[in-house]
Structure formats: structure tokens, C-alpha cells
Amino acid sequence: MKAGARILVRTCADVRADENVVIVTDPERMAIARAVADEALEAGAVLSILVPPERSIDNEEPGPAVAAALSAADVVFLPVTLAMAHTRAVREAIAAGARVLSMTAFTERMMRVGGLFTDFSARQPLSRALAAKLTAGERLRVTNPAGTDLAMSLAGVTGNSHACLLDGPGFSAVPNIEANCAPAHGSADGVFVCDGSIPYYGVGPVSDPVTFRISGGFVTHIEGGDQARFLTELLARQEDPWVYNLAQFAFGLNPACTGFTGEMLNDEGVNGTVHIGIGTSANLGGSVSAKTHFDAIARAPSVWIDEEMVLSDGEILADRG
């Protein structure tokens, strides 16, 4: 896995000699953490590996000891089984100057083949251009052949470019190249039909489309088969109304992510898809902190920002030239 670790350390995180590097992991991802650690040590970093107490759900806070270590780090790698990117601990680490690379549910396969081995620099201009359109736009609408028809306001929104290249404080999830935003709070209305993947909570690629009915910026109903029922019950158990917040809209932009595997950061980056995030929005420019955050991905979307079509049935129009 050395080639993959070298990309993560040298290209994505730009680790330099004498920087404090913290790797947060768990027993299931320890082989990946050690590969990244070996490469960081070769780069001259001062290294710590943390294994926090087990958490119960994606984006649950990791506890004060881990939070303190993250805030003292120059660079953070998160090869963890349950997502940590959308937590207050990560938000505070970034505010303190950390570069955070999210590697949720990373697999050894992903260290060897697939999206990690794309040209991130070549894709960065497109990611930035779409983020700029999200910032400048007033209104977004997305449809897809499965029945999606969802609209939201972009007023006052700042788009984010996450191209897996960190040259200053911030976070990116690798190899998930994406441009995203937190829509204007309370503005989303319509239907989002996930016919791709929900790569959280063990759901993975959907066997039956999962329909999210959204009103006033909140999910009001989740419909479909067994996976939809599982998700409905899981969210209800959180006893937190904010877990239904429409937190995110994002474009998947990695041309080396070509199909849904159930690996979170592969599926969210599949080129020409879009996903919504539900729950916490604070790490994306929004104001909501919920008990969890998860994403749902749609195939073959068409997207309009104001009057401009930017995706047509999964084709990114900026790629035509």
C-alpha cells in the first residue's frame, strides 16, 4: 500500500518535515493507518496514532482527549470506520490551523487502485469552478430519471471545492473530489430519489430506490424498501430533530470513481453524480450540529443553477470541451 500512502501524505496532505501529524484510527483500519504513518515518518513528521473509544454512529463526537490532539496537529488523517469529518472536534482543529484528510471506511483496495490514483491537480479547476457557481447562484434545481425534483436557495451560500489537495487549513475527503455547499437553511423543497448509494450505517448501494420527501429544508418522509425502513428507524432512535436537516448538496467529480462499491469515499466521488447530505451542516458553511450526518447519491442527475444547466443526465457540461 506504499504507493497509495505516498499520494495521501505527499500529494494530498503535503506533509512537511517537523510537522505534527495525528492519525486517528481503529483496529479495523490499523493496517491503513500504519502505511500512512510509515510514509509520514519518511517525510520527517512528528507522528501520533490515536485509537479513541468506540463510537456508535457516524459523526458522533470522538471525546475531549481526541479533540485536544486534533487541535494541536498540523495535519490530521482520519482512516476510521465511522465518519468523523462532520464533528465539532474537526471543526475546531481546522479553526486552529489543521489540514484534515478524511478517509472514512477506507479499504486496502482503495489504497491500491481506483480513485486515489487520479490526477487531482487536473480536476481541481473544475471543482473550483462549480464551487464558484454555487457561491454566485441564487437558486438550484436537480432532477433525475428516478424521480428526483428538488429545489433549494443558494442565497448567501459559499461553495466549497474539495479536490483532495490541502495547502492550508481545511478538510477534504479523499478520493472523493467534490464541489459542495450547505443550502440556505430551510429552503429546500421537493423530492430526492437515491438510486445510487447510501454509503453509511452499512446501507451501501441501494437495492430499491430510497425516496426522501423534503419540505422547508427538512426530510419529512423516507420511502422505499428495507433499506429505507432501516434508515427511518435509525434516525428516529437519535431523538434529535436536526438529523433530518437538509445539510448539503454536492457534485461527484472523480473520473477514476466509476461505480458504486459501498465504499463511502468512492461512491460519493463517482463522476457525474450528485448527493445530498442530511444532518450536520456546520462543517460545510451551515449552522446545524446534529447527532449524525449521512449522504445519499443519485445517478444521472440534471442540475440547473439559476438558468444555467451544469449537468445533463450525469454529463458534466464543462467537460464537453
CA distances from 219 to 150, 161, 191, 314 (A): 12, 25, 9, 24
pLDDT exceeds 70 at position 78 = yes
Nearest one of 38, 24, 160 to 101, comparing CA atoms: 24
Which cell is 241 given?
Answer: 430533530
pLDDT above 80: residue 320: no
Q: What's the Cα-to-Cα distance from 233 to each of 39, 120, 238, rounded to whole Å? A: 42, 38, 9
Closest CA relative to residue 210, chosen from 186, 187, 234: 234
- The model carries a pTM of 0.92
C-alpha torsion 53→57→63→69, nearest 10:
80
Bridge partners of residue 221, in order along the sequence? 213
What is the pLDDT, as a whole number, of residue 318? 80
**pLDDT per residue as tens digits for the range 200-251:** 999 999 999 999 999 999 999 999 999 999 999 999 999 999 999 999 999 9
pLDDT tens, residue by residue, 265-319: 999 999 999 999 999 999 899 999 999 999 999 999 999 999 999 999 999 998 7
Q: What local confidence, expressed as pLDDT, does residue 319 receive?
A: 79
Asked if residue 321 has pLDDT above 80, the reply is no
Per-residue pLDDT of 138-193, as tens digits, reads 999 999 999 999 999 999 999 999 999 999 999 999 999 999 999 999 999 999 99
- Residue 15: the pLDDT is 98
CA 304 centroid distance within chain? 22
Instruction: Give start and end residues of each alpha helix (H) in the chain.
Output: 2-6, 30-42, 64-71, 88-95, 108-112, 120-136, 226-237, 264-267
**For residue 60, what is its C-alpha cell?**
458522533
Q: Which of 74, 8, 11, 67 is CA-nearest to residue 45?
A: 74
Helix-strand-coil split of the chain, %, nearest 5: 30, 30, 40
From the DSSP assignment, how many helices (H) and strands (E) are in the chain? 8, 20
pLDDT at res. 113: 95
